[in-house]
Amino acid sequence: MKYTIIFQFLLIFSLSGCKQIQPCDAVVYWKHEGLIKIYNKPNGKELTSLQNDLQNENFLNLKIKEVTNDFFLVEISLTINGTKQVGWIKKNSYIGAFMKGEKEYMDLTLYNSPKDELSEIKKIKNWKAGFVTIEDFQSKWTKVAISYKGKRVSGWIQSNKLCPNNYSTCN
């Protein structure tokens, strides 16, 4: 009986408290020509570097697995023909995604905190849609930054509104 209770407790604990966060899909903006350095840890030893192959339209895509203040732990590769590399890359404005079903101009709502649609901070009207920078993620929410009227604006959106694809708008 004692072992049955312990087993049930461990099962309940493992199902409720130890959930894996799904990685956040992203891309390196197709116009970015520079090298992306991959490190063994934040501010650590450089392992290798990759870059978009603009001539062959073979762009970098990645899965962000973990976030620090300045770095992402990623799995990164070229979309068409690349070996996956795992390591830390420095956060930058060229790491992000596009909006799904992007129109030239669209309304965008950004929230103050994830998972709380009552915390609305900005409803941006007639935003000229484009690339959004990923700053952070939590489960089904992604913190993004955009340029709007000459200013940098950031906030949280539902991850399913993003299209991590340099080739289409994920319609």
Count of the separate structural domains present in the chain: 2
**Domain presence at residue 63:** yes
Mark whether 134 and 88 lie in a shared domain: no
Mark whether 85 and 54 lie in a shared domain: yes
**Domain presence at residue 140:** yes
Mark whether 77 and 130 lie in a shared domain: no
> What are 14-46's pLDDT values in tens digits?
333 333 468 899 999 999 999 999 999 999 999
Asked whether the beta carbons of 35 and 49 are under 8 A apart, the reply is yes
**Domain presence at residue 16:** no
> What confidence score (pLDDT) does residue 10 get?
34
Mark whether 70 and 111 lie in a shared domain: no
In this prediction, residue 4 has a pLDDT band, given cuts at 50, 70 and 90, of very low
The parent domain of residue 79 ranges over: 24-92
Q: Which of 73, 92, 111 is the last residue of a domain?
A: 92
> What confidence score (pLDDT) does residue 117 get?
66
Q: Report whether pLDDT(12) > 70.
A: no
What's the pTM? 0.83
> What confidence score (pLDDT) does residue 113 get?
85
> What confidence score (pLDDT) does residue 88 get?
98
> What confidence score (pLDDT) does residue 123 get?
86
Mark whether 65 and 124 lie in a shared domain: no
Q: Which residues contact 50 (CB under 8 A, 6 or more apart)?
A: 35, 36, 38, 60, 76, 77, 78, 82, 85
Residue 39 has φ and ψ, to the nearest 5°, of: -115, 160
Residue 151 has φ and ψ, to the nearest 5°, of: -120, 155
> What confidence score (pLDDT) does residue 7 get?
36
Q: Which of 34, 60, 92 is the last residue of a domain?
A: 92
> What are 110-164's pLDDT values in tens digits?
998 887 667 777 888 888 888 999 999 998 899 999 988 888 999 999 999 999 9
> What confidence score (pLDDT) does residue 102 get?
66
> What are 100-112's pLDDT values in tens digits?
876 788 888 899 8
Instruction: Report the distance separating Cα 29 and Cα 167, nearest Å.
Output: 11
**Domain presence at residue 72:** yes
Q: Report whether pLDDT(53) > 80.
A: yes
> What are 72-109's pLDDT values in tens digits?
999 999 999 888 999 999 999 999 999 887 678 888 88
Mark whether 81 and 103 lie in a shared domain: no
Maximal C-alpha separation, the chain: 67
Mark whether 86 and 103 lie in a shared domain: no
